[in-house]
Structure 1
Amino acid sequence: MLKKKIENIYRLGVKELWSLWRDPAMLFLIIFTFTISVYTASTSVPETLNNAPIAIVDEDHSALSQRIISAFYPPGFTPPQMIDISQMDAGMDDGQYTFALNIPANFQEDVLAQKVPTIQLNVDATRMSQAFSGSGYIQQMIQLEVNEFVARNRTVTSLPVELELRARFNPSLEKKWFGALNQIINNVTMISIILTGAALIREREHGTVEHLLVMPVTVFEIMMAKIWSMGLVVLLASSSSLYFVVMGFMHIPILGSIPLFFCGVALSLFAMTSMGIFLATIAKSMPQFGLLLILTLIPLQMLSGGMTPRESMPEFVQNIMFFAPTTQFVELGQAILFRGAGLEVVWKPFICQFFIGLALFLFSLKRFKETIHTMA
């Protein structure tokens, strides 16, 4: 009896794989998500300023103002455009500059007289990635140039305590290391839900649910077939992305055990595919499933700790999201891939992930049994 059940689950799973193979849209989504999406997510936002357009109004025409102007050069900034005060507002309104710096008259004289002169910096805040990082960067640059001009040389004040900065796990502080690995973790969640949910809705749209109901198979076998087949696809896609895109093409080192990480991926897939089936039993069509997916994925990914630390969230949200499978998956994934943690460190999220997945599976199975006859 057990052998027959396993054979049914295997053959139904093979049927799901053939159905997926004949769906070019889904195949394209899988390939895009684990290749181009991983690369663009890790490199789209620059770590530093890159060719930020800046205009300067120099009303002082002094040695100090020229020193400040010369501090802005590529690749951080475009060559500064020297404009009149009357052109500054119009240029900002037209979007020609992200930054417009106004150096007032008598600026050098006031600095040498130990007064407190002010420089006006106008920022186009609609260009968020450049505006927020650039405004602080420009303030530091101007302060450094003014201090060097006053001191006439580069002097470093010796403090009684010296701070030695050591960045662990990412010594060069490269953003793409975090972005690429975190994107794979997020994509595993997204694609596993989409594939299983779409597989069930495809059965309904093609009218093959009736065929399954008259076959000597149980609801448990149908559900397990969809889980193992779609989970296998995501497991192969994510492993290929990690080896060929992240480690091969982008040359990002992995500190931890990759087999241990994919054990965590398998547990996460068990939970996520079950969730995908549950959503598919609620939705009546693919558009409805897409809307449900948006309402589900955004909270799961934003509140799981992958984008912002869970400690910075309200305690109420932390307590609720503890029971989300994505929270445990992000915790074990980041610990293994980023910090090289072993099983002695991540055994708790592994256990939590297993029980969360088991609860989602049983809940989805109950819902599937209740609705499968109405789906036909």
Structure 2
Amino acid sequence: MAGIYIHIPFCKQACHYCDFHFSTSLKYKDDMLQAIIKEIKLRRDYLGEETINTIYFGGGTPSVLTADEINRLLDTITQHYDVEIGTEVTLEANPDDLHQQKIAALRQTAINRFSIGIQSFFDEDLLWMNRVHRATEAEASVKRAQDAGFENITADLIYGYPLLSDFKWNYNLNKIFELDIPHVSAYSMTVEPQTALAAFISKKKQPPMSEQQSAEQFAILTDAMLQKGFEHYEISNFCKPGHYSRHNSNYWKGVNYLGIGPSAHSFNGHSRQWNIANNATYLRSLTENNIPAEIEILSEADRLNEYIMTSLRTMWGLDMDKLDTISASASAGLLKNAKVYLDNGNLQISHNILTLSSSGKLYADAIAAALFF
């Protein structure tokens, strides 16, 4: 099984914290769709004969596409790839795009899962982030999607920024529970270089993010999710039993995937590729039947470290036996490096599976890096 990710590089406006690749001009949307369709055809052999069981429209804001445009892309995929019946097909969407007419049109496509970028249910926070939508739209979009028959919904939330008090954070979480959303992705606000937020902080127009606030609100998050019966199956992801994101879970489990569109990444177990993050160059290259991608052949150490980084983030953990299939006796070296974290309780091991403890989840990236080969 394998997945396909399609990057739609357009947004209505730039969120202050975002460093993903996108353009706020839709001038070349038709040209981009033609180029993406061509790349889908050209990359047919990348995944070999593997069956596709997840398709993910990300961005950018793929909900700027019409239902007809989405169908054109999906039809091209099904014509050139072996797509499993019941494939999870996710569309990232902004609440302001999910009006009643749009949702009705999307019901006529193969889209069966929405990832809705809510971020907050407070207008002042959304304005601070420079989001397009408002709180009432966020709530209404979820209800409209549910009324139309979309049950597989995930909501994005952000915590750990100056405007977000613990009271507001608890309100946001309770609103998610009230709306009966079965999956939540919650991210600590990070300050990426070259973003508006980074510039505001450097010019002292905004205070820096607080690591203590982020840690405390992460604890509020995990406690609230546990009390409501959600599984904490990945550092930033929670779901009711059976509502895992199949596409993202494939990333964390090392399943192969193909990335289509500017800035999209691909992985086939032996190499990693990434398309250029430049719309004009991408369009020009595809008109010449060239894919503007760089490739990195993964060394044994790269493959070990890739598995360590992704598996440790999940509740399924790091399987020592699988580690040894990548490199003989690798588990012995890893356990030696892991001893300090096992001793201090940040890591735990059971049946040859290494997992992060509740306290260890706060330091997931640092612990994974310390275990690298």
Question: TM-score scaled to structure 2, two decimals?
Answer: 0.25
Bigger RCO (CA 8 Å, 6+ sep): 1
User: Which has a greater percent of strand?
Assistant: 2
Q: Which has the higher helix share?
A: 1
Rg larger for: 1
* TM-score w.r.t. length of structure 1: 0.25
